[in-house]
Amino acid sequence: MGENGLVQGRYRLLDLIGRGGMGEVWRARDECLGRQVAVKRLKPLGPHHDPALGGVLRERFRREARVAAALSHRGVTVVHDFGEDGGVPYLVMELLRGRDLSRLLEDGRGHPLPVDAVADIAGQTAVALAYTHRQGVVHRDLKPANIVLLTDGTVKICDFGIARLGDDIGFTARLTGTGVALGTPHYMSPEQIGGDEVDRRSDLYSLGCVLYEIATGVPPFDLEDAWAILIGHRDTTPRPPRELRPELPAYLDRIILDLLAKRPAERPYDADELSGRIQDGRAGAALPPRGLYGAQELSGRIQDGRAGAAVPPPGPYGRSEPSHPLRAAVVPTFPFSPPGPPGEGRLPSWSRGMSTGHKAVGAGLRALPPDPGAALTGRWAEPATLPTDPSTRALAPRAARHHEGARPAGQGRGPDADLAHPAVPADRAALRGPHQPEVLAERHDAAVELLRCGRAAEALAAFGEVAGGWARLLGAEHPETLAARHEVAVALLRCDRATEALAAFGEVAEDRGRVLGLDHPDTLASRQETAYALGRLGRHAEARRIYHEVLDARERTMGPEHPDTLRCKHNLACALGRLGRPADARRLAGEVAAARTRLLGPDHPDTLASRCEVAYAQGQSGHWEEALHIYREVARTRARVLGADHPDTLAARYETALSLGRLGRSTDALGVYRDLIVDRTRVQGPTHPETLRARHGLGVHLGRLGHWEDALSEAGDVCALRERLLGADHPDTLVSRREVAVALGWLGRWADALGAYRRVAATRERTLGPDHPDTLAARDDEAHCRERLGRTPEAGEAARGVTVRRRPHRSNSP
């Protein structure tokens, strides 16, 4: 297999992104599904290695595949495939975009991470460990290199190469009998070192070592000699982290020390208890919410010196200089030569000759011979960019209900300083040429970042440049050019230019069909986005037809339970709901929810999105009690799995308030809206569209409870903000203007109300057409207002006009 060869005829290797003693990881492209993945391969040992060692490493590799493939959680790396190619085992995983904690510490030259980032990483890792432990899986090699912080702030655990399933007895003996170390010395628990039984609390000890290091800049026992490190873990109490970093909160200091207790019984009982302690401590310390930083921003903060480390920088080889206070405290108690035969109080035989492995800090260690037991210690994640894969769903716009997986623009970390100019620096472009592949790829990545940060207009311009560059370099119909054109259409949608996006998606879908084939995943992706754009324009019948066709093709080529098939089926359910067919929508959404529950688990975000669509269809059918029950359950689950401040959690809370309103429980709805406004303002800002939507709901229920002056004030404020931010003709602005008119009418100010109603009707007629249902509803409002003003003949004439226009609309409705 060459560097550009195919693995199993399917995975094209692109570039090497990680290497260790056991294997290597490549960025690759799945030629079948058209997505980028990470391919991990076991390196051949060569003719001079012990065959027994090769057999054990193969078993460890297969074990990782079996264990990781059975796990499905946002905090655990997803495994897609496993097999052997030319006698070399390989593992196909999701391609992570971010940096592992080892790399983050190296970026900061050994300085610790910000306190709030330490707490965030601790909380997310505890949640992920709680899940794996519930599945009976103990990781056994938790270390900074195996914990990745993605660009969006998500923390993921990877490398389950020596994980142990609860029912797998004898695996430890088979590995230790060959002299292969289980774990890395800087992060091994005392029971691992002593060869005793290992359970979930060993992972908690290793997590304590990781947290100690990212909080202080050094491991608990920072020594060159592997024996000294192992004995330190076994026999010596670590120095409290706050002595090395005084600004560390007391609760975090206490948690880390508890995790590092020598006896497992003295540590937190399990990761669930740990997660609760972290949440309680963060609340008391008033730290920011989870997911505050992505890997790139955090690395930038560390490099800029804002982390405020209270420990000396590391020595030239990543270890502390002899004057380090921790070293002075522990060195005298350690024997620096191997003890005699194993026995009580001794280290196990497999630790003889062991190197210290790769601790997180310092580039110098990378020159040392790799420890065969350390698995991969290089970068597990690609540099902090987002995928270039044209079929990647992260680039596609998502709207609540209609298109699953909503992620409002601007969520996650803020834009980086270098995003002000998304193009590659001029000097680099001049050296390599403005249209060289690597330059275009970097321009693309910068455009993706702009789009993710909500700067859609700038992203659109950048994607246009990339598409033009690929067209000049490779031709107008090359797959790379078509992929860039697809992303131009995505950016058009984010700019609320749905008509232009529809045309762009249609052209790309036609060209992809001709070049790649009608059933190619990229062609189907563009067709599916075409349907989504149609839905954004209110053309749901046309969207439904395309969704049906794409779903048939996906079921035929990928199978009925492929993730892309289920996603399309979900979108079809959404379209049916918008066409007033709630029974069909509920049936389809229910089927998707059941399949996702079975395949992904009941708490998976995609499963919860489908449950929300079931709830929406229930509400459309008038079953608001059932809808309310589902929305509440989803909101609670999302808060537990994704976090209380996650956009999806907030969206489910909004739907809960909406359902309470539909049930006439305005007082309850008012309370939910008030709390939601506070949280959305804190998380997303006071002018975010979703914050304004919650404020609109608050105004509606103030009116329903008879507080019309307050309702008018709220509606007026929201209307003014929406007009300034979205434009006078935006549908949300018009909805708010109508609410102003309603409040004016209830306050007896019918002349003022008539002016507002007429403005809404005229704008809708101009933008939507005279026969659109929303236009006719506005004309009805206008007629009612004229009647209240005593202008009965005008009101009657207006009402008759609406009736005449509605008749053909009804006869042509699907």
Written as one string, the DSSP assignment of 151-205 is TTS-EEE---TT-EETT-TTHHHHHHTTT--SS-GGG--HHHHTT----HHHHHH
Whether the pLDDT of residue 778 is over 70: the answer is: yes
For residues 409 and 635, the model is more confident at 635
**Cα separation, 125 vs 147, whole angstroms:** 8
Question: Would you place residue 227 in the very low, low, confident or very high pLDDT band (cuts 50, 70, 90)?
Answer: confident
- 3-state secondary structure string, 210-257? HHHHHHHCCCCCCCCCHHHHHHHHHHCCCCCHHHHCCCCCHHHHHHHH
Confidence of residue 658 (pLDDT cuts 50, 70, 90): very high
Q: Are 373 and 184 in contact (CB under 8 A)?
A: yes
Confidence of residue 533 (pLDDT cuts 50, 70, 90): very high
- Between 382 and 736, whose confidence is greater? 736
pLDDT band at 500 (very low <50, low <70, confident <90, very high): very high
Instruction: Please say if the pLDDT value at position 134 is more than 60.
Output: yes
Distance from C-alpha of 536 to C-alpha of 51, rounded to nearest angstrom: 61
Would you state the structure tokens that stand for residue 298, as one six-digit string? Answer: 């955090």
Confidence bin at 626 (pLDDT 50/70/90) = very high
**When comparing pLDDT for 132 and 803, which is higher?**
132
Would you state the structure tokens that stand for residue 329, as one six-digit string?
């405290």
Tokens of 241: 């982290």
Q: Indicate whether 174 pLDDT > 70.
A: no
Whether the per-residue pLDDT at 347 is higher than 60: the answer is: no
> Which CATH architecture group holds 98-306?
Orthogonal Bundle (1.10)
* CA nearest neighbour of 417 among 300, 503, 322, 531: 300
Summarize the confidence of residues 718-733 as an average pLDDT: 93
At residue 371, the 3 state secondary structure works out as coil
Higher-confidence residue of 383 and 29: namely 29
Res. 792 pLDDT band, cuts 50 70 90: confident
Q: Mean pLDDT check: name the lowest of 11-15, 413-417, 588-592, 655-659.
A: 413-417
Q: Nearest-CA neighbor of 56 among 188, 215, 177?
A: 177
Quick check: helix, strand or coil at residue 650? Answer: helix
pLDDT band at 20; cut points 50, 70, 90: low
Nearest to 398 by CA among 648, 588, 644, 573: 648
DSSP code at position 615 = H
**Cα gap 156→100, rounded to integer Å:** 9
Which residues of the chain are in CATH 1.10.510.10 domains? 98-306
Distance of alpha carbon 139 from alpha carbon 120, whole angstroms: 20
Q: Which of 141, 203, 371, 522 is catalytic?
A: 141
Indicate if 141 belongs to the active site: yes
State the pLDDT at residue 424. Answer: 38
Structure-token match 């306050």, residue found? 747
> What pLDDT is stored for residue 312 in this prediction?
33
Give me the sheet containing 6-7, strands edge to edge: 6-7, 11-19, 23-30, 35-42, 88-94, 79-85
- Arithmetic mean of pLDDT over the chain: 77
CA distances from 312 to 112, 192, 322, 360 (A): 10, 30, 11, 16
Task: Give pLDDT, residue 389.
Answer: 34
pLDDT band at 703, cuts 50/70/90?
very high
- The pLDDT score that the predictor gives to residue 796 is 86
- In the chain, CATH 1.25.40.10 covers 389-537
Which tops the pLDDT comparison, 116 or 175?
A: 116
CB neighbour burial string for 336-353, b if at least 16 within 10 angstroms, e if fewer: eeeeeeeeeebbbebbee
Q: Which DSSP symbol is given to 76?
A: B
When pLDDT is cut at 50, 70 and 90, the band that residue 508 belongs to is very high
Please determine, for residue 522, whether its predicted confidence score (pLDDT) is greater than 50: yes
Question: Do 700 and 711 touch, CB atoms closer than 8 A?
Answer: yes
Residue 552 host element (H or E):
helix 540-558
Phi, psi of 165, deg, nearest 5: -80, 150
The predicted pLDDT at position 109 comes to 73
pLDDT digits (tens, 9 = 90+) for 363-403: 222 222 222 222 222 233 333 333 333 333 333 332 333 34
Rounded CA-CA distance 400/647 in Å is 10
Q: Which helix (H) or strand (E) holds 33?
A: none
Average pLDDT score over residue span 60-64:
67
CA-CA distance, 139 to 732, in Å (whole number)?
A: 49
DSSP string of 388-448?
--TT-GGGS---TTTSSS---TT-SSPPPGGGGS-SPPHHHHHHH-TTSHHHHHHHHHHHH
Please report the pLDDT score of residue 51 as a whole number. Answer: 53
Q: What is the rounded radius of gyration, in angstroms, for the C-alpha atoms of the chain?
A: 30
User: ∠ CA 127-268-239 to the nearest 5 degrees?
Assistant: 105
Which residues contact residue 229 at a Cβ distance below 8 angstroms, ignoring those fewer than 6 apart? Answer: 185, 186, 219, 221, 223, 356
User: 255: Cβ–Cβ under 8 A, 6 or more apart, which residues?
Assistant: 122, 211, 268, 274, 277, 278, 281
Query: Under CATH, which architecture does the 389-537 domain have?
Result: Alpha Horseshoe (1.25)
Select from 203, 163, 165, 164 the least CA-distant residue to 187.
Answer: 203
**Does residue 170 surpass a pLDDT of 60?**
no
Residue % of the chain over a pLDDT of 70? 74
Calpha distance 21→57 (Å, rounded): 10
pLDDT at residue 221 tops 80: yes
Choice between 167 and 800, residue whose per-residue pLDDT is larger: 800
pLDDT of residue 414: 31
Helix 750-768 with 773-788: angle, nearest 10 deg: 160
Domain 6-94, CATH homologous superfamily name and number: Phosphorylase Kinase; domain 1 (3.30.200.20)
For 749, the token pair is 């100010």
* Tally of residues, the chain: 814
Residues 672, 676, 680, CA angle at the centre, nearest 5°?
A: 175
State how far the Cα of 678 lies from the Cα of 673, in Å rounded to an integer: 9
User: What are the tens digits of pLDDT across the range 420-446?
Assistant: 333 333 343 433 444 567 778 778 888
338 SS3 class: coil
Q: Is residue 3 over pLDDT 50? A: no
Q: For residue 136, what are its two tokens?
A: 């009976």
Indicate whether 571 pLDDT > 80. Answer: yes
Q: Write the burial class of residue 794 (CB in 10 Å: 0-12 exposed, 13-18 middle, 19+ buried).
A: middle
**pLDDT, position 293:** 53
Exposure letters 509-528 (e unless 16+ CB within 10 A, then b):
bebbbebbeeebbbbbbbbb
pLDDT of residue 180: 37
Among residues 251, 143, 254, the alpha carbon closest in space to that of 203 is found at: 143
Q: What are phi and psi of 382, to 5 degrees?
A: -70, 165
Selected residue with higher pLDDT from 284 and 57: 284
Which pLDDT score, from 0 to 100, does residue 678 have? 95
Residues with Cβ < 8 Å from 164, sequence gap 6 or more? 137, 138, 140, 171, 172, 198
Question: Is the pLDDT confidence value at 31 over 80?
Answer: yes
Q: What is the arithmetic mean of pLDDT over 461-482?
A: 88
User: Cα dihedral sign for 632, 636, 639, 641?
Assistant: negative
pLDDT 10s digits, 303-336:
554 434 333 333 222 222 222 222 222 322 222 2
Q: Is the pLDDT of residue 168 over 70?
A: no
Amino acid 54: pLDDT: 59
pLDDT (tens digit per residue) in 204-220? 999 999 999 999 999 99
DSSP state of 383: S
What percent of the chain has pLDDT above 90?
A: 41
At 332 the pLDDT is: 26
Helix (H, G, I), strand (E, B) or coil at 75: coil
Sheet holding 155-157, edge to edge: 98-100, 147-150, 155-157
> Strand 147-150 to strand 137-138: parallel, antiparallel, or no bridges (unpaired)?
unpaired
According to the model, what pLDDT value does residue 472 have? 87
pLDDT at 592 over 90: yes
- Distance, in Å, from the CA atom of 676 to the CA atom of 684, rounded to the nearest integer, reads 11
pLDDT over 80 at 69, yes or no: no
Residues 6+ apart with CB under 8 A from 389: 29, 34, 35, 36, 483
How many helices (H) and strands (E) are present in the chain, helices listed first?
Answer: 31, 11
What's the CA gap between 485 and 491, in Å, rounded? 10
Cβ 488 vs Cβ 503: under 8 Å? no
**Residue 295 and residue 99 in contact, taking contact as beta carbons nearer than 8 Å:** yes
Q: Tokens 């695996």 appear where?
A: 171
262 labelled as ligand-binding? no
Q: Are 738 and 782 in contact (CB under 8 A)?
A: no
Cα dist from 786 to 462, 712, 740, whole Å: 51, 20, 17
In 3D space, the residue among 228, 261, 237, 240 whose CA is nearest the CA of residue 331 turns out to be 228
> Any idea what the Cα angle at residue 362 is, between residues 358 and 364, rounded to 5°?
80
- Please check the confidence at residue 405 and state whether its pLDDT lies above 50: no
